Structure 1
Amino acid sequence: MADYILEMRGITKTFPGVKALENVNLKVKEGEVHALCGENGAGKSTLMKVLSGVYPHGTYEGDILFKGNVCEFKDIKSSESLGIVIIHQELALIPYLSIAENIFLGNEQGARGVIDWNETNVKAKQLLSKVGLKESPGTLINTLGVGKQQLVEIAKALSKQVKLLILDEPTAALNEEDSENLLNLILTFKQQGISSIIISHKLNEIAKVADSITILRDGKTIETLDMKADEVTEDRIIKGMVGRDLTHRYPERVPNIGETIFEVKNWTVHHPQHLERKVIDNVDFHIRKGEIVGIAGLMGAGRTELAMSIFGRSYGRNISGQVFKDGKELHLRTISQAIDNGIAYVTEDRKHYGLVLIDDIKRNISMASLPKLSRRSVVNENEEIVVAESFRKKMNIKTPSVKQITGNLSGGNQQKVVLSKWIFSGPDVLILDEPTRGIDVGAKYEIYTIINQLASEGKGVLIISSELPEILGMCDRIYIMSEGRMTGEVSREEASQETLMKYMTKSRG
């Protein structure tokens, strides 16, 4: 048996106008967890799509060897037949089918075109047991949380007799507990002889599970490190990823805080379907000019629901309470009214709610502010291009043209397009929901710098984040939510992870 289960040699992949991969080499040992790191746009996902047959043989240069044999995969099914299974960041499950149906989709259990449901459910139950999921195989996917859906994806991979499991940002949308469980599961698979490649921006997770790490930068292999022998530190990985030291993860800032610009009083929101249930219960908070305020809380605490309900009542029913801006009460019943009154909301889900991925960058930047570029309802396209170009340069969006389709950009560059859209709307108050989710450390630093600049212009900024270091590193003042209520408020000086966690776990009692 070969020492290496996988070797990728001299992989080069070109898209129109862009060389995504240039002479990339990757070696994965039998039975190891191998991490793949790099900034957004470094080529990590592209390399894995080459490996799994999403980009078939003939569309790239170089060789793939699996267990010592040269492979020429023409599609995903070809790679899966050898036990190479990829789980993408966007889960590929059908919400209205059951767990069992999703696990064996395209690999149905039965004979002569007839599905054996008994065999399907028995095998599904065995696979669910392996990943530690206690749900019934007949449970519909849309009733499960993201963490459990991730486990269904892994059970699906195991059903294909997986030998090399590829996980692309597996914990990006998971809370700490679900992330921990998933990482432990990867280590369990390692003990069972399954090799894994994990792509992650969370360097603490890589330190926990990885045996080796390969760093990509600008589509090229920078180095491969043995996590134990090379005494790898987070700073060493970051330097390889971004090409420079990031001595401070958060840019320095001297706050210049003024009067209250935005205030919410007695805000209560009921669930859109279950009207008897309060999702937000009598919440109060305020933001001052030039201040960055954070909201911390566990998943399900109501942070996103609070933000969306304020932003033109885009979430919830039977909403009551008051919103004030510069001391004047606002009645924001639609998103248009929120925008017209200088409120912007950067959603946590940029792919579904923040961007039109099949449209170009310039249209995505202008779409929330078309009246600024229109005369008699006709958009001035030249002006639109000028505006988009200015944001491309100012925000350092890595793209050859603002006419590039937004879905072709990396996650970090997509996030910069979302921020550009809302900055162009000219807001006084920005609500940023998970502003750096799924983004590498280099792009995070750039986005933090943009946030600081907005605050220095006197705008009020509200950051909702599941990453406590981000809240602690960026915010002047922090509110904490639990079960739809504000359970605490602390200054930057008083704040610590322990203090925040104490308030985050405080129940209604």
Structure 2
Amino acid sequence: MTEPILTLSGITKTFPGVRALHNVALELFPGQVTALIGENGAGKSTLVKVMTGIYQPDAGQITVGGEPVSLPTAHAAFAAGVTAIHQETVLFDELTVAENIYLGHAPRNRFGLIDWTTMRNEARLTLESMAAGIDPDIKLKELGIAKKHLVAVARALSIDAQIVIMDEPTAALSQKEIEELYVLIELLKQDGKAILFISHKFDEIYRIADRYTVFRDGEMVGAGLIKDTTQNQIVQMMVGRSVDHIFPARTAQIGDVVLEAKGLSHPTEFDDVSFAVRKGEILGFYGLVGAGRSEVMQAVFGMTQTSGGTIVLDGKTIASKSAADAVEAGIVYVPEERGKQGVITSQPIFKNVSLPSLKKTGKSGFLRMAEEFALARTYTERLDLRASSLSQDVSTLSGGNQQKVVIAKWLATNPKVIILDEPTKGIDIGSKAAVHGFMGELVAQGLSVIMVSSELPEVLGMSDRIVVMREGRVIATLDNKGLKPETLVRLAAGIAEEAAA
């Protein structure tokens, strides 16, 4: 069949201060896999939410089987034959496999009650057709991640979904499990399903995809047949922009090594990770989803414990068994999830800023509010935080100003090394410029900055050196002199690694 089963045209979605999708087009064909490719933040997840009824587009049209459809709810998308299999399966651990497969569309008897026998039998037949080897009567929590993915596929087959979205489905699977998933994808293709496959792994894309669509900055910038394009051409479409003249010029003098990680390992997240950051340096970390960058930083900060390796700060080996130990030593961490890990949104600005520095602001076991205010004022003014007063709850601030509160909190501890994990995620252009400018001030004052970022322009525009990670390992450490974005993408995605290294 040459006609698409699903078509999106002119899809636009805007959030306050952010244009997530602009005039996007996408076609999915029966019996074919279309790979959706793009950097983190390119708009892929927003598009999936539009297709599954979680978000409603501001403009544009969706057609299924040639007929325009409206998907105001997730249930409406489900009824239209659209289902999604996510990196983290959206299923229920306390229900049985059969109950998960038929949740929301269980077979009924003549009295309108659930026909449990028929449900279990049909679930068993579906699982057997997939050679899944799963008992439909066991609870989902007894299965591993790979088997849960199989249950999600069985659910798609049980509703006869015509469009199956797979969002990073192999991120947590072993190679053997990935091969089994490929077999299932072929089964879905033979059954005439249209599959949207989202992945950062080019070997996967070229292994199973028939078509590709590339997103960049919320727009569709390329589409076609996989056989008619090369990996390098797709990389060029992904990056396709200049990072010059966007970021502030810096004149910091880079000195000796301040912090060095040697052979850091974790049983499941990363292995043999080594790097060093010098005084007055911004060390960038780049990688695709699942590369292990944030997990390494959380280990350096003492949030998680390593199974091997050492951390050396100012020539002395330290053993941070907790975040408090790391702060005491002079290492602080601005997390990616600032709302969950960085601030207490229900508390005022001054209390958030003073929280790690209560020894400074307290006396004889009592807090001194005047000292807390003075400390908060000093650091929020340096960051040009915009708020009506320091008594304003953090929850009422914009994303950019919340980020400034987190940074101010840690600067007040007078750290030696500050780790910034996705420092400009979800904030507006003006706030991004303020954060970038302040990063330059930090290193000019002699601090060492480690910056984890998924945005290529930010990594290239702010870093002195760049560490590239893939699948929990350091692939390369590069001086940022004339470095091209294509080089970083190839390394992070595993394309021509030997040549790039």
Could you say which TM-score interval applies, normalised by the shorter chain? 0.5 to 0.7
Q: 1:28 to 1:324 in 2, by over 3 A?
A: closer
Q: CA RMSD in A?
A: 5.3
Provide the C-alpha distance between the structure 2 equivalents of 1:124 and 1:43, rounded to a whole number of angstroms: 35
Q: 1:345 to 1:377 in 2, by over 3 A?
A: closer
CA displacement, residues 208-231 of structure 1 (integer Å, 9 cap, x when unaligned): 222111222222222222212x3x
CA displacement, residues 241-293 of structure 1 (integer Å, 9 cap, x when unaligned): 221499xxxxxxxxx9977955889x999xxxxxxxxx79xx9998766599x
CA contact (8 A) 1:416 1:447 kept: no
- 1:165 equivalent to 2:161? Answer no
Equivalent residues in 2 for 1:75-474 (5 A)? 75-111=73-109, 112=111, 114-228=113-227, 230=228, 232-244=229-241, 290=278, 312=302, 314=304, 325-326=313-314, 328=316, 330=318, 332-343=320-331, 376-378=371-373, 380=376, 383-384=379-380, 387=383, 402-403=400-401, 415-417=422-424, 443=455, 446-447=458-459, 453=465, 465-466=470-471, 471-474=474-477
Q: Return the letter of the residue paired with 1:335.
A: A
Q: 1:345 to 1:358 in 2, by over 3 A?
A: closer
Query: How far did residue 167 of structure 1 move?
Result: 1.6
Q: Return the letter of the residue paired with 2:77.
A: S
Aligned partner of 2:417 in structure 1 is none
Q: 1:448 to 1:109 in 2, by over 3 A?
A: farther
Query: How far did residue 151 of structure 1 move?
Result: 2.4
Q: Percent identity?
A: 31
Provide the C-alpha distance between the structure 1 equivalents of 2:64 and 2:181, rounded to a whole number of angstroms: 26
Q: 1:202 to 1:108 in 2, by over 3 A?
A: same
CA contact (8 A) 1:238 1:245 kept: no
CA contact (8 A) 1:260 1:286 kept: no
What are structure 2's unaligned runs of at least 5 residues? Answer: 244-253, 362-368, 387-397, 405-419, 426-434, 480-495
Provide the C-alpha distance between the structure 2 equivalents of 1:135 and 1:431, rounded to a whole number of angstroms: 45
Secondary structure at 1:53's aligned position in 2? coil
TM-score, length basis structure 2: 0.63
Aligned partner of 1:409 in structure 2 is none
Provide the C-alpha distance between the structure 2 equivalents of 1:166 and 1:62, rounded to a whole number of angstroms: 20
Aligned partner of 1:23 in structure 2 is 23
Q: Return the letter of the residue paired with 1:14.
A: T
CA contact (8 A) 1:10 1:63 kept: yes
Equivalent residues in 2 for 1:31-110 (5 A)? 31-56=31-56, 59-110=57-108
Query: How far did residue 149 of structure 1 move?
Result: 2.5
Query: How far did residue 196 of structure 1 move?
Result: 0.5
Q: 1:359 to 1:444 in 2, by over 3 A?
A: farther
Q: Return the letter of the residue paired with 1:472.
A: I
Provide the C-alpha distance between the structure 1 equivalents of 2:49 and 2:321, rounded to a whole number of angstroms: 44
CA displacement, residues 292-329 of structure 1 (integer Å, 9 cap, x when unaligned): 9x9xxxx9xx999998777547459xx99997644546
Q: Return the letter of the residue paired with 1:376.
A: E
What are structure 1's unaligned runs of at least 5 residues? Answer: 247-255, 270-278, 391-399, 407-412, 456-460, 477-495, 499-509
Q: 1:315 to 1:3 in 2, by over 3 A?
A: same
Q: Return the letter of the residue paired with 1:380.
A: A
Q: 1:366 to 1:497 in 2, by over 3 A?
A: farther
Provide the C-alpha distance between the structure 2 equivalents of 1:321 and 1:45, rounded to a whole number of angstroms: 35
Secondary structure at 1:174's aligned position in 2? coil
Provide the C-alpha distance between the structure 2 equivalents of 1:259 and 1:17, rounded to a whole number of angstroms: 39
Provide the C-alpha distance between the structure 2 equivalents of 1:218 and 1:357, rounded to a whole number of angstroms: 31
Secondary structure at 2:34's aligned position in 1? strand
Query: How far did residue 184 of structure 1 move?
Result: 3.7
Provide the C-alpha distance between the structure 2 equivalents of 1:34 and 1:80, rounded to a whole number of angstroms: 20
Q: Return the letter of the residue paired with 2:475.
A: L
Q: Return the letter of the residue paired with 1:342.
A: G
Provide the C-alpha distance between the structure 2 equivalents of 1:286 and 1:131, rounded to a whole number of angstroms: 42
Provide the C-alpha distance between the structure 1 equivalents of 2:218 and 2:304, rounded to a whole number of angstroms: 40
Secondary structure at 2:150's aligned position in 1? helix
Q: Return the letter of the residue paired with 1:334.
A: S
Provide the C-alpha distance between the structure 1 equivalents of 2:60 and 2:122, rounded to a whole number of angstroms: 38
CA displacement, residues 386-444 of structure 1 (integer Å, 9 cap, x when unaligned): 53879xxxxxxxxx9614899xxxxxx973458x89x9899999999xx67xx5xxx25
Provide the C-alpha distance between the structure 1 equivalents of 2:150 and 2:448, rounded to a whole number of angstroms: 38
Secondary structure at 1:376's aligned position in 2? helix
Provide the C-alpha distance between the structure 2 equivalents of 1:286 and 1:204, rounded to a whole number of angstroms: 26
Q: 1:449 to 1:237 in 2, by over 3 A?
A: same
Q: Return the letter of the residue paired with 1:219.
A: G
Provide the C-alpha distance between the structure 2 equivalents of 1:54 and 1:222, rounded to a whole number of angstroms: 24
Provide the C-alpha distance between the structure 2 equivalents of 1:313 and 1:401, rounded to a whole number of angstroms: 24
TM-score, length basis structure 1: 0.62
Secondary structure at 2:422's aligned position in 1? helix
CA contact (8 A) 1:305 1:315 kept: no
Secondary structure at 1:380's aligned position in 2? helix
Provide the C-alpha distance between the structure 1 equivalents of 2:46 and 2:55, rounded to a whole number of angstroms: 8
CA contact (8 A) 1:343 1:429 kept: no
Provide the C-alpha distance between the structure 2 equivalents of 1:352 and 1:175, rounded to a whole number of angstroms: 32
Secondary structure at 1:473's aligned position in 2? strand
